[in-house]
A and B are shown apart, each in its own frame.
Chain A
Amino acid sequence: MLSLENVAKQYGSLQAVHPLSLTIERGRTTVLIGPSGCGKSTLIRLMNGLIRPDHGRVTCDGTLVAPENLLALRRRIGYVIQEGGLFPHLTARSNVTLLARHVGWQGPKITSRVAELAELVHLDSDRLDQYPVQLSGGQRQRVSLMRALMLDPDVLLLDEPLGALDPMIRSYLQSDLRNIFQSLHKTVVLVTHDLNEAAFLGDHIVLLRSGEVVQQGSIDDLCDRPVDPFVREFINAQRSTLSNEVRE
């Protein structure tokens, strides 16, 4: 679905992404994981053209991610970031429907889509008329997810969507997210630094370090067949929580 070929990105003297190639398969949840500064957020921003690569090319379903295609592409790629990135001057409903109204959807179609999405993400419908500042962190992320899904995109990109939430809320949202991903069968790319979350949500895990792919595969591949000491170290650092949940 998404393909990065020999893509590199440099900020000043910092090589954020070394030339790398990566394929994101259709209908699967791919998790980009790694320590801070490994390039995972840069990579996800390359996929929807928020950042342009210095070298190489990014394609989405065969279309080159380039300035002339960006508007159309982005409407097929939902995007959720940490803290939601909701527009503070609009109600939750207006945040969700802004793009649909912009592209000319009619009232009834918008209303039924919003109701459908509110049910999907488990958001009280009376929350929809509140402003972001009146919502809790978890509710904001649910609204943000509705906004990303409004036009029923093919691809969903999530950059640390649960990063700013407290553990209880985070855990509820994790299970909701897994159910949503499983029911929608969309191509999902999720960035996290939490191996627990990656294992719980991801079909395919890509471990990154300093702008390079160290290893990719299932969680079992990473746990049982680490390719180098860094992978083992990264896994062991978070294993205590992992073992209880994934191995049961």
Chain B
Amino acid sequence: MTACRTTLGLLTVLGCAVLLTGSSCDGTQAITVGSKLFTESVILGEIATQLAVNAGADATHRRETGGSTVLWEALKTGQIDAYPEYTGTLRQEILSQLGLESDEELAAALARYGVAMSRPLGFSNTYVLGMRKARAAELGITRISDLTQHPALRFGFSNEFLERGDGWQQLRAHYGLPQEDVRGLDHNLAYQGLGSGALDLIDVYSTDPEIQYYDLAILEDDRSFFPDYDAIWLYRQALVETHPEAVAAWGRITGRISAETMQALNGRAKPPGDQPRVPESQVAADFLRDELQIESRVTTASTSQQILARTGEHLYLVFWSMLPAILTAIPLGVVAAKYRTTGQGILGVVGILQTIPSLALLVLLIKPLYDAGAALEGVLGSSFGLTRLGEPQAIVALFLYSLLPIVRNTAAGISGIAHSVRESAEALGLTRAARLLRVELPLASGVMLAGIKTAAVINVGFATLGALIGAGGYGQPILTGIRLADYSLVLQGAVPAAVLAVVVQGVFELLERVVVPRGLRLRRS
């Protein structure tokens, strides 16, 4: 009876919280545009979305959906319909095993996955080498091959560029560069080093707004060392049939975004200096108005609205992962307490689940969940939302991470019941089920609840990782804040997450007074 009360109590408390979230959208024929976790990709995702909406399509942008792998997997399965990508990323990373040379070969390879690519948007986002214009002019350097004449130049490279297989070592060999004074350092420090004259040359991305801000000269890659990272739209081939207007709209902008334009757009969204930051949606809208005379309405939610929405998303993840975790872990804990060998197996498995890195787990879950959803759709006529990207993966991962504390505490609570009490219940003539429900579970309830509390508090923290796969929640402002180096944005996620953890802790302490029988809370008089 008390076990029922436990569950009911939890349902009530968390249920009320989840009502705030409202229902999530269903998978109709809307176009979902994804974007990666950096500013340029978010701006391009906005541009694609606004173009499609302007053309009359029902399109939404899932900002910062994830890294390249997440987006590619999601595009293949149709969880998203389009996203901005770079030819180099496809050739060097995603499809690297195919050894694709030309864009024609690349397009043919993509078609085998049901994916199409647009013509290049106009700019290439690749590594380039930059010097201050004055210094480059003074030395007469315009091309990378000119560097061989100046062995005393001081280079500062990002650690990534220094270590990559196709980074500095290859570049040095390719051009026969003689420089010895080469150091690895943080990208922001590199700009400062260049500004102060401590460094002569650094590596930059060709669309970094800092190129304009620091007035850099970009050296020509005259022996074609750096691969092309041409920006393109990737979209599902099926869209040509279902949403031809959107595909046509995306075609209107191809070839029209130069590297300088992209630098300027990036610079508005993430200014290198002290200028105010402009939201990516506004940057995209302004660009489309200037370039194509397209008017799009941009609405930005207030901070409190955003926090409320994030709270809803966060609670949604926590509730729908905790509830099944509790309902699964308690029976597993009971079995673990009753059967020694099976119990060790159960505790071993839930322990191992805990050690799987979260990002890996989220990515690994994309395909199986999609397949499961598709299979359910075939049999029952509904996928139960499993074919969506984001929430299902995050919820399953959180569910798996929540099992261990609950299973372990349930098992410990039941095993810890005094032998005399256990024996009395048996000798009394109660059935096994009655012994479990009337005696063992109530006696273990305190320890079990402590396990559920631990799991819930950890869950609230872990749920911020849902943002890595586009499931929203408090992790979203944290990720965006890190991307834009905006600490107030990071705090908009981190502070509510901490507050929620404290609230959850408090709720469970109140619940303890309801659930744990009074006789167990009394002190011996």
**A and B associate in one complex:** yes
Whether A79 and B519, one on each chain, are in contact in the complex, defined by CB atoms closer than 8 angstroms, is: no
Give chain A residues whose Cβ lies under 8 Å from the Cβ of B523. Answer: 133
Whether B428 and A147, one on each chain, are in contact in the complex, defined by CB atoms closer than 8 angstroms, is: yes
A133 to chain B, nearest CB (A): 5
Per-position 1/0 for B418-445, Cβ under 8 A of A: 0011011111111100100011001100
A24-32, A82-90, A192-200: which lies at the B interface? A82-90
- With A87-B443, A134-B525 in contact, is A98–B518 under 8 Å at CB? no
Whether B517 and A133, one on each chain, are in contact in the complex, defined by CB atoms closer than 8 angstroms, is: no
Q: Is A33 an interface residue (CB 8 A)?
A: no
Whether B443 and A99, one on each chain, are in contact in the complex, defined by CB atoms closer than 8 angstroms, is: no
Q: Is B522 an interface residue (CB 8 A)?
A: yes
Whether A131 and B518, one on each chain, are in contact in the complex, defined by CB atoms closer than 8 angstroms, is: yes
Q: Is A18 an interface residue (CB 8 A)?
A: no
Secondary structure dominating the interface of B: helix
Alpha-carbon distance A14/B442, docked complex (angstroms): 36
Whether B421 and A87, one on each chain, are in contact in the complex, defined by CB atoms closer than 8 angstroms, is: yes
Whether B430 and A81, one on each chain, are in contact in the complex, defined by CB atoms closer than 8 angstroms, is: no
Q: How many A residues face the partner with a CB closer than 8 A? A: 29
B444 to chain A, nearest CB (A): 10
Give chain A residues whose Cβ lies under 8 Å from the Cβ of B520. Answer: 88-89
Alpha-carbon distance A132/B443, docked complex (angstroms): 13
- With A50-B426, A71-B431, A98-B430 in contact, is A87–B439 under 8 Å at CB? yes
Interface residues of A (CB under 8 A from B): 48, 50, 70-75, 77, 79, 81-91, 98-99, 102, 131-134, 147
Whether A79 and B438, one on each chain, are in contact in the complex, defined by CB atoms closer than 8 angstroms, is: no
Whether A89 and B517, one on each chain, are in contact in the complex, defined by CB atoms closer than 8 angstroms, is: yes
Whether B424 and A81, one on each chain, are in contact in the complex, defined by CB atoms closer than 8 angstroms, is: yes
Contact of A131 among B427, B434, B522 (CB under 8 A): B522
Whether B443 and A98, one on each chain, are in contact in the complex, defined by CB atoms closer than 8 angstroms, is: no
Whether A74 and B421, one on each chain, are in contact in the complex, defined by CB atoms closer than 8 angstroms, is: no
Whether A133 and B525, one on each chain, are in contact in the complex, defined by CB atoms closer than 8 angstroms, is: yes
Q: Is B524 an interface residue (CB 8 A)?
A: yes
Q: Most A CB atoms within 10 A — which of B2, B423, B523, B524?
A: B423
Whether A75 and B524, one on each chain, are in contact in the complex, defined by CB atoms closer than 8 angstroms, is: no
Whether A85 and B423, one on each chain, are in contact in the complex, defined by CB atoms closer than 8 angstroms, is: yes
Alpha-carbon distance A134/B428, docked complex (angstroms): 23
Give chain A residues whose Cβ lies under 8 Å from the Cβ of B424. Answer: 79, 81, 84-87
Contact of A132 among B2, B439, B519 (CB under 8 A): B519
Whether B420 and A75, one on each chain, are in contact in the complex, defined by CB atoms closer than 8 angstroms, is: no
Interface residues of B (CB under 8 A from A): 2, 420-421, 423-431, 434, 438-439, 442-443, 517-520, 522-525
Alpha-carbon distance A133/B520, docked complex (angstroms): 8
A110 to chain B, nearest CB (A): 15
Q: B446 — nearest CB in chain A belongs to which residue?
A: A89
- With A71-B431, A102-B430 in contact, is A81–B522 under 8 Å at CB? no
Alpha-carbon distance A87/B434, docked complex (angstroms): 13
- With A98-B438, A133-B525 in contact, is A91–B427 under 8 Å at CB? no
B118 to chain A, nearest CB (A): 68
- With A48-B427, A98-B428 in contact, is A90–B434 under 8 Å at CB? no
Whether B519 and A50, one on each chain, are in contact in the complex, defined by CB atoms closer than 8 angstroms, is: no
Alpha-carbon distance A77/B2, docked complex (angstroms): 28
Give chain B residues whose Cβ lies under 8 Å from the Cβ of A77. Answer: 427
Contact of B429 among A74, A81, A84, A87 (CB under 8 A): A74
Q: A98 — nearest CB in chain B belongs to which residue?
A: B438
A233 to chain B, nearest CB (A): 31
Whether B429 and A75, one on each chain, are in contact in the complex, defined by CB atoms closer than 8 angstroms, is: yes
B414 to chain A, nearest CB (A): 13
Q: B442 — nearest CB in chain A belongs to which residue?
A: A89
B515 to chain A, nearest CB (A): 11
Q: 14 interchain pairs (CB within 8 A)?
A: A75-B429, A81-B424, A83-B420, A85-B424, A87-B424, A87-B443, A88-B519, A90-B519, A91-B519, A99-B428, A131-B519, A133-B524, A134-B522, A147-B428
Alpha-carbon distance A86/B426, docked complex (angstroms): 12
Alpha-carbon distance A27/B421, docked complex (angstroms): 28
Whether A88 and B421, one on each chain, are in contact in the complex, defined by CB atoms closer than 8 angstroms, is: yes
Whether A74 and B427, one on each chain, are in contact in the complex, defined by CB atoms closer than 8 angstroms, is: yes
Whether B519 and A85, one on each chain, are in contact in the complex, defined by CB atoms closer than 8 angstroms, is: no
Question: Which are the 8 A-B pairs with shortest beta-carbon distances?
Answer: A85-B424, A74-B429, A89-B517, A131-B519, A79-B427, A75-B429, A85-B420, A89-B519
Q: Most A CB atoms within 10 A — which of B424, B428, B517?
A: B428
B5 to chain A, nearest CB (A): 12
